Structure 1
Amino acid sequence: MAAGPRARPTAPGRAPRSRPARLVELALTTCPPEHAEQLQARARTVLKTPPAAAQVAEVLPADADQVDGLTEPLASWLPVWDWSPVLPAAVLAGWEPALDALRRIAPAGPPTRAPPPYCSR
Structure 2
Amino acid sequence: MSETERDSIAELKAEVGELRERMAELNKKVLDAQLEAWRSRFDELDLQTHLGGMDLRDKVQPILDQLNDQWAKARAQLDEMGSGAGEAAKAINDAVQSAVDEFRAGFKKALEALRT
Q: TM-score scaled by structure 1?
A: 0.31
Give the number of the structure whose alpha-carbon radius of gyration is greater.
2
Greater share of helix:
2
